[in-house]
Amino acid sequence: MSTGATGFLERYEAAVGRLPGDSALRAAAAAAFKVAGLPGGTPRARPVEAWKYTSLRPVAEATFQASPKHEAETLLSGLTLLDAPRLVFVDGVLRADLSDASPTMTTVGHSATVAPLLTGGSFTAGVQIARFADQPDFGTLTWPDREPMVALNTMLASDGATLDVPAGVDGGIVQLVSLSGGQGDFHPRHSIRLGKGARLTVVEISAGQGVYLLNTVAEIHVAAGAHLTHIRLQDEAATAFHVSTTYADVVAGGTYDSFTLNLGGRLSRTEVHTQLSGPGATAHLNAAQILAGSQHADFTTVVSHTAPSCGSRQTVKNVLAGRSRGVFQGKIEVARHAQKTDGYQMNQALLLSPYAEVDSKPELEIFADDVKCSHGATVGELDAEQMFYLRSRGIPDADAKSILVRAFLAEALDAVADETIRGLLETAVEQWWERQKA
Amino acid sequence: MLDIRGLTASIGDKPILKGIDLTVPAGEVHAIMGPNGSGKSTLGYVLSGREDYTVTGGSATFNGADILAMEPEQRAAAGVFLAFQAPIELPGVNNANFLRTALNAIRRAHGESELDAVQFLKLARAETKRLAMPDDMLKRNVNVGFSGGEKKRNEVLQMAILRPKLAILDETDSGLDIDALKIVADGVNALRGPEFSALVITHHQRLLDHLVPNRVHVLAHGRIVRTGGPELAKELEKSGYAGLIAEAA
């Protein structure tokens, strides 16, 4: 299958009658995508500041290939998962037979296709889940007109999960697992809503085989005093493309606590837009990117402080080997009335090779006069004295490197409060390291 | 046995060691004394394989093996241990994990089975107790937030656990109070035996009261200018190095 912007539009034209939901919205998104195209997708593409360091030309030029031995079951059994409910999407489509919902989860409305994966429970407690395929929910926060990849998702999205946690309910952990291996491009569309004082942890895990594009959009609403922990573990096939765009709105006293671990993919872009729109709202957008070979990973954030006394924290660490490239673009916007804003941003890179590259672009746009905002960036190599100290104790060179890299990452991973989840991420890093040694 | 012949080494273009001849037979402890800048620490680094020094001539063998040709980790596996004058901090690295990784790497190199966490902790707790170290030192990050004395004791703990055949102590006594000094000396004395040798680099006679050396060497301007018995250290304590160096020049 040839891709490029035209390929996506042709597929939209062909499928338009069968796609669920608001067709006018999809048509508008298609029109926007037709104008914008893939960012950097052609040599003539107009440069866009938001995509300064990342070009999707490799996506435009790729030939998507199904993995010959692709089997969702095999992929799934190879993954380390938490002992918690999971919704499994294969090539972007929910597979009820591979999913495992908790008895406390319930369906809402007429989400009949989700019902079979539920083992019981009532409508009074727990997480209410629905499928995008049954109840398309495009949300209200996204900007298809400004973000070409969101436009592409809006145009082609066919499935996804809608998770609602009623006020005061602790929804526990829900895993959203994406397995890709089929030929093509997949555009999951998720929606997560937490009622007042509700709690939920969402762990998104993505993996696959072959050459494909996973282009996810998630919309998140955190109500007053609610707390959402959002973990992304991106471990896609080394030949795959991964784009994930999240929009989160957090109101008074709410917390959006997110951590992204980018390990896989030939090229990945994780973009998070967070709006702190009620006093005392908090956002943590932490990330670690560990790359080798010619991998490219871009972590881009926009935090809008639109209410007073909100806090945002971002610690982004890159470990870059080979000819890999890590990008962090972080923008903090502080509106005029958002006094007492506390914004912090730190980007650190550890370069394991003279050919690796890190690009860091912090942006502060502050219109209030009583705020605390800071940002910093460091780039370094492994410390020669520390290496010698470890080796002088008998620890071989490769193991000494691994110890220092894990120590560098520890501070970032420490931001993940739940020990089990931190363990899951540490295991993924461990496996990444083993793959590099092999 | 450590056998050093005509060893010369530089840092950048600057020669530091200008022909060291030194033999430490198995079972013996030798002290190296000398003024600042005489090359004492360089000798320790060169023997343990630090990369920023270039060996420009001569040889160093340990039990017949050419240690200068080995990577630092191979030297450690061969039994060489350097107690650092300024131990390195490793933020984010747990002390117990560090020690277990090091011990297991050396055991692996010797074809011995690795210790699991439980077996290791039992061993490590026995050693921390003997060295009068608080238990929580194992839980903390390596040398991070340690006082000067704690760092030195942590070096001795590593030595006690790794059980080297050649220990090089680079001013491990400096900055220690009398009690800590005794602990360091006891740590080395506990390892003494027919298969163990040590090079003790020090400025002070005090350590040598507790850790009595077989021989004392005086290093000045990159050469050994005098060798004697334990009484040489006492003599230096009284008269200083100036006379010796003038005599050698």
Kindly report, residue by residue over A284-296, the tens digit of the pLDDT.
999 999 999 999 9
Q: Is the pLDDT of residue B157 over 90?
A: yes
The answer on pLDDT for A58 being more than 80 is yes
> Is the separation of the CB atoms in A184 and A90 below 8 Å?
no
Q: What confidence score (pLDDT) does residue A143 get?
A: 79
How far is residue B57's CA from residue A278's CA, in Å, rounded to a whole number? Answer: 71
Using a CB-CB cut-off of 8 Å, the residues of chain B touching A386 are 88, 90
Contact A207, A90 (CB under 8 A): no
Measuring CA to CA, which residue among A421, A285, A276 is closest to residue A337?
A: A276
Confirm or reject contact between A398 and chain B (CB < 8 A).
no
Q: pLDDT band at B249, cuts 50/70/90?
A: low
Predicted confidence band of residue B173 (pLDDT cuts 50, 70, 90): confident
Contact A393 B71 (CB under 8 A): no
Backbone angles phi, psi at A383, to 5 degrees: -75, 125
User: What's the confidence (pLDDT) of residue A44?
Assistant: 80
Helix, strand or coil for residue A9?
helix
CA angle, A250 then A255 then A259, to 5°: 105
What pLDDT band is residue B136 in, cutting at 50, 70 and 90?
confident
- Residue with the bigger pLDDT between A402 and A233: it is A233
Question: How close B154 comes to chain A (CA, Å)?
Answer: 13
**pLDDT at residue A393, as a whole number:** 98
> What mean pLDDT is reported for chain A?
90
Q: Which residues of B fall below an 8 Å CB-CB distance to A?
A: 48-52, 71-73, 75-77, 81-82, 84, 87-88, 90-93, 98, 101-103, 105-106, 109, 158, 162
* Contact residues on chain B for A389, CB-CB shorter than 8 A: 84, 87-88, 90
Please, which residues bridge with residue A202 across strands?
A: A174, A230
Q: How many residues does chain B have?
A: 249
Q: Which amino acid is at B103?
A: L
pLDDT, mean of residues B104-114: 96
A46 pLDDT tier (thresholds 50, 70, 90): confident
What confidence score (pLDDT) does residue A117 get? 46
Shortest Cα distance, chain B CAs vs residue A211, angstroms: 37
Please report the pLDDT score of residue B248 as a whole number: 66
Instruction: Provide the 10 A C-beta neighbour count for residue B242.
Output: 9
Q: Which residues of A touch B93 (CB under 8 A)?
A: 403-404, 407
Chain centroid to Cα A92, Å, comes to 15
Chain B residues inside the 8 Å CB shell of A388: 49-51, 72, 88
Residue A210: closest CA among A253, A179, A189, A187: A179
A397 and B CB contact within 8 Å:
yes
Measure B237 CA to nearest chain A CA, in Å.
Answer: 32
Give the SS3 label for residue B209: helix
H or E stretch at A68: none
More reliable by pLDDT, B174 or A164: A164
**Element containing residue A34 per DSSP (H, E):** helix A23-36
More confident position, A78 or A259: A259
SS3 B1: coil
pLDDT score, position A123: 30
Q: What is the mean pLDDT of residues B103-126?
A: 95
pLDDT tens-digit series, residues A157-204: 999 999 999 999 988 899 999 999 887 899 999 999 999 999 999 999
Q: Which residues contact B226 (CB under 8 A, 6 or more apart)?
A: B217, B218, B232, B244, B248
Cβ atoms within 10 Å of B129's Cβ, excluding its own: 11
Given a cut of 80, whether residue A343 has pLDDT beyond it is yes
> pLDDT tens digits for B204-229?
888 999 999 999 999 999 999 999 99
Facing residue for B76 by CB, picked from A386, A392, A409: A392
A1 touches chain B (CB under 8 A): no
Residues ≥6 apart with Cβ < 8 Å to A295: A238, A265, A266, A267, A268, A322, A324, A325
Rounded CA separation B81/B103 (Å): 12
* Whole-number pLDDT of residue A30: 95
Distance linking the first and last C-alpha atoms of chain B? 30
* Ordered domains of chain B (ranges, CATH): 2-248 (3.40.50.300)
**Residue A224: its pLDDT value, please?**
98
CA A121 to chain centre: 30
Specify whether the backbone of A413 is left (phi greater than 0), alpha (psi in -120 to 50) or beta: alpha
Other C-beta atoms closer than 10 Å to the C-beta of A143 total 13
Nearest to A204, CA basis, from A254, A165, A157, A242: A242
Using a pLDDT cut of 70, give the percent of chain B over it.
Answer: 99
- Report whether A364 contacts A375 (CB < 8 A): yes
| pLDDT for residue A111 | 44
Residue type, A435: R
Helices (runs of H) and strands (runs of E) counted in chain A: 8, 21
Q: In the structure, what pLDDT confidence band is assigned to residue A247 with cuts at 50, 70 and 90? A: very high
- Helix, strand, coil percent values for chain A (each to nearest 5): 25, 40, 40
A122 pLDDT band, cuts 50/70/90, is very low
How far is A245 from A219, CA to CA, in rounded Å?
9
The residue among A146, A148, A128, A171 whose CA lies nearest residue A41 is: A148
| ipTM of predicted assembly, 2 dp | 0.96
Whether B188 and B29 have beta carbons less than 8 Å apart is answered as yes
Q: Does A12 touch chain B (CB under 8 A)?
A: no
Q: Which of A106-120, A206-220, A221-235, A314-328 has the lowest mean pLDDT?
A: A106-120
**Distance in angstroms (rounded) separating the CA atoms of residues B191 and A415:** 43
Mean local confidence (pLDDT), B193-214: 92
Identify any residues that bridge with B15 across adjacent strands, giving them in sequence order. B10
Query: Do the Cβ atoms of A290 and A432 come closer than 8 Å?
Result: yes
Q: Which residues of A touch B91 (CB under 8 A)?
A: 407
- Top-confidence range, A87-91, A272-276, B241-245: A272-276
Q: Does residue A104 carry a pLDDT above 60?
A: no
Q: Return the pLDDT at B53.
A: 95
A228 forms beta bridges with A200, A256
